[in-house]
Amino acid sequence: MGLFIEIKVSPDAAKDPATVKKLSEVCPVGIFTAGGNGELEIVDANVDECTLCELCLGVGAAGSVQVLKLYDGNQPLERSR
């Protein structure tokens, strides 16, 4: 969890190597990475760099990734395009 942003990924998505790979590819600031076993690891140092680009929201089943704005009532980011 960052100071401003929290990323939540559903357990199913976090365990799926294909989804994890996709997430690590789309994120422009390197928040997602694959651990040794192919499971998701969140790079804490990069979470606050999140640019709200929404690209991760389109990965995996709908709702499997949530981006929360901790400075705005913990509101999850919604896709605008």
Partner 1 sequence: MRFYEYESKALLAKHGFPLPKGSKVAHTPAEAEAIAREIGGPLVLKSQVLSGGRMKAGGVLFTETPAEAKAAAETILKLEINGQTARGVLVESKQPIAQEFYLGVTWDGTAKKPVMILSDMGGIDIEEVAEQHPEHIAKRHFSTLMPFADHKAKELVASLGITGSDLNRLTRIVATLARVFQQYDLTLAEINPLGKLEDGSFVAVDGHVDLEAEAKGKHKKLLEELGIGEDETRQARPPTPFEIKGREINEVDHRGVAGNVTEFDGTLGLVIGAGGGSLTLFDAVRKHGGDPANYCEIGGNPSVSKVCNLTKLILSKPGVEKIAVMMNVVSNTRVDLVARGVIKGVIEAGHEPSEKIAIFRIPGSWERDGFKLLEKYGVEYCDRSVSMYEAAGRAVAKMKAA
Residues that bind partner 1 (CB under 8 A): 3-4, 29, 45, 48-49, 51-52, 69, 71-72
- Name the 3-class secondary structure at 33: strand
Nearer to partner 1, 1 or 18 (CB): 1
What CA–CA distance (Å, rounded) separates 47 from 44? 5
* Closer residue to partner 1, CB minimum distance, 12 or 75: 75
- Tokens 């076993």 label which residue? 37
Cα(33)–Cα(25) distance, rounded to whole angstroms? 9
Give me the least distance between CB of 78 and partner 1, in Å please. 13
At closest approach, how far in Å is the CB of 3 from partner 1? 6
Nearer to partner 1, 15 or 70 (CB): 70
- Phi, then psi, of 25 in degrees rounded to 5: -80, -40
